[in-house]
Amino acid sequence: MSTAAASSGRPHVLVVPFPPMGHLLPLLDFSHLLSTRHCVRITVTVTPSCLHLLSDFLASTPLAAALPLPLPDPSAPEHAGQIAPGTHHALLAAPLSTLRGSLVSWARSQLDPPTTVLSDFFLGSAQLVADDLRVPRVAFYGVGAFTTAALEQLWNSTLPLDPNNDAALSALPGSPSFPYGHVPSVVRSYVPGDPDWELVREGFLLNSRAWGAVVNTFDAMESDFLEHLKRRFGHGRVWAVGPVANSGCRVGERPTAEAEELFSWLAGCPERSVLYVCFGSMYKPPLSQAAALGAALEASGVRFVWAVSADVAVFPDGLEERARARDKGRVVCGWAPQMEILRHASVGAFVTHCGWNSTLEGVAAGVTLVAWPMKADQFIDARLVVDVHGAAVRAAEGEDAVPDSGALARVFAGAVEGAELGGVRAKARTLAAAAGDAVEEGGSSWLDFERMVKELEAVSAP
Ligand code: UDP
């Protein structure tokens, strides 16, 4: 491939993230690794309302800079309540395509222009920027290889899908199929013929033209799906480098008085006795669901930490006061230091929506995952940890589920206190050890990362 001249001879990577936190965080973790381990220069495009989220990243990544872009940010307060689920993608795809010209002009005006474009897989149209600059593009998949493979088949199939039939992913290892409601929401939201949605689909299809693919997963977790992707993309440049969150430069994890109080309470709890509940950075449970969950937590008798990133109104009345009075738990309203909580010795289980980051973080921490997938790729991730690996248990399914709190309480109690849970705990420990080994020097993810940098350096050489 012919590349633009790089005046420094070192790679300069133009990073194009997708704004929601579940996408932004792993891409920043990966960029941080690239820059600090291999002196790669990084420029991150960012929407103005997300700029503050980059401050920890920029402070800990000396060779990185931000390039603010006038893109709308679906998570910004001015859009609250106006954006229907699934339309994030349509909202962003069109403006990104209009910014192609200005990104290319900016790149051409640099003394040390980008030698690679690294974009979130939701923004496959960044391929066109890379084409204009005649540099390679790396697609970053902050989801698992199973989801990546599923999306690849789904976007290439006849759409829309028939809501009355299961989606059969017959090309994938194990030929899995999913009920229509469990298919990633972005595919179900697609509106054929709608110009914005056509751009979204084109963007996903452009991913197969990327020079390379980086997946935030590790070999022992998804080797079959990684091999499948190599076959589908037609080259071996599919690198499994995860879990990237081990890099320890997480945004929003600064010590606060609340966090200090939480960790001092956790320090007084017996080992592995606490159940941590969090459904990611965006999900707000409806009140009936939150009530069932609260009742189950209290009935289970287990110690708990329940984090809701958005809204205190979600927690059932009096729950926090009773939990404190009985020394049974804490609620966190706002951004919880999730990685640190999961790694705390007193935390034994994690009720999760199975967002991919949470799934990997829980797996790496070796806690028992209690799966409650809600939407997006979460049903696929739950299938992987519960059914493929047998390393997690199920609590409930779906955004509308309001499970019986007695039954839920039994699942919660079993997850932290039960015996071996039919081998689940042992399998979770094995997977956790494999995740740790993968990122150690000489491990599968460490080696893939080094191979990727070598190839990137080779194509970036002047
Ligand atoms: N997260 C966090 N504190 C919170 C909520 C979320 O640190 O209070 C982090 C979590 O550790 C994970 C990410 O935000 O890295 C959420 O990503 P995930 O893929 O699990 O779910 P999403 O937010 O995309 O639904």
For residues 298, 304, 309, 315, the Cα torsion angle rounded to the nearest 10 degrees is 20
Question: Of all atoms in ligand 1, which is nearest to the CA of residue 281?
Answer: 23
Sheet holding 137-141, edge to edge: 64-68, 41-46, 12-16, 116-120, 137-141, 212-215, 238-240
Cα(357) to ligand 1 centroid in Å equals: 6
Report whether residue 374 contacts ligand 1, using a CB cutoff of 6 Å.
no
Question: Residue 364 — left, alpha, or beta (φ > 0 → left; ψ -120 to 50 → alpha)?
Answer: alpha
Between CA 365 and CA 370, with CA 369 as vertex, the angle to 5 degrees is 155
Contact present, 3 and 134 (Cβ < 8 Å): yes
Per the rule left: phi > 0, alpha: psi between -120 and 50, beta: everything else, 294 is: alpha
Question: What residues pair up with 13 in beta bridges, in sequence order?
Answer: 42, 116
Q: How many CB atoms lie within 10 A of CB 246?
A: 18
pLDDT of residue 249: 52
pLDDT score recorded for residue 357: 97
Q: Measured from the CB, is residue 25 less than 6 Å from ligand 1?
A: yes
- Contact present, 186 and 375 (Cβ < 8 Å): no
Report d(CA 386, CA 418) in Å as an integer: 17
**CB atoms closer than 10 angstroms to residue 175:** 9
Q: How is residue 415 annotated by DSSP?
A: H
Q: Is 381 a catalytic residue?
A: no
What is the full DSSP assignment across 103-163? Answer: HHHHHHT-SS--SEEEEEGGGTTHHHHHHHHT--EEEEE-S-HHHHHHHHHHHTS-SS--T
The finding on whether 361 has its CB within 6 A of some atom of ligand 1 is: yes
Residues of the chain with pLDDT under 50: 1-6, 78-87, 247
Q: Residue 393: beta bridge partners?
A: 370
d(CA 93, CA 353): 26
For residue 1, the model assigns a pLDDT of 39
Please report the atom of ligand 1 found closest to the CA of residue 253: 7
Which residue minimizes the CA distance to atom 25 of ligand 1? 280
Q: How many CB atoms lie within 10 A of CB 285?
A: 24
* The predicted structure's pLDDT at residue 74: 53
Which domains does the chain carry?
3-240 (3.40.50.2000), 257-437 (3.40.50.2000)
Return the ligand 1 atom nearest residue 20 CA: 24
Structure tokens at 89: 């993608």
Please name the residue ranges forming H helices in 180-333: 185-189, 195-206, 219-233, 257-267, 287-300, 319-325
CA of 92: how far to CAs of 40, 66, 123, 446, in Å? 27, 19, 8, 33
Q: Which of 12, 32, 73, 120 is catalytic?
A: 120
Q: Which helix (H) or strand (E) holds 402?
A: none
Structure tokens at 238: 């599919």
Residues 186, 125: Cα–Cα separation, whole Å = 16
What does the pLDDT read at residue 278? 97
Q: Is the CB of 354 under 6 A from ligand 1?
A: no
For the Cβ of 351 lying below 6 angstroms from any atom of ligand 1, the answer is: no
Per-residue model confidence as pLDDT tens digits over 116-152: 999 999 989 899 999 999 999 999 999 999 999 999 9
In testing the pocket of ligand 1, which one of 28, 56, 357 has its CB within 8 Å of the most ligand atoms? Answer: 357
- Of 12, 23, 182, 228, the catalytic one is 23
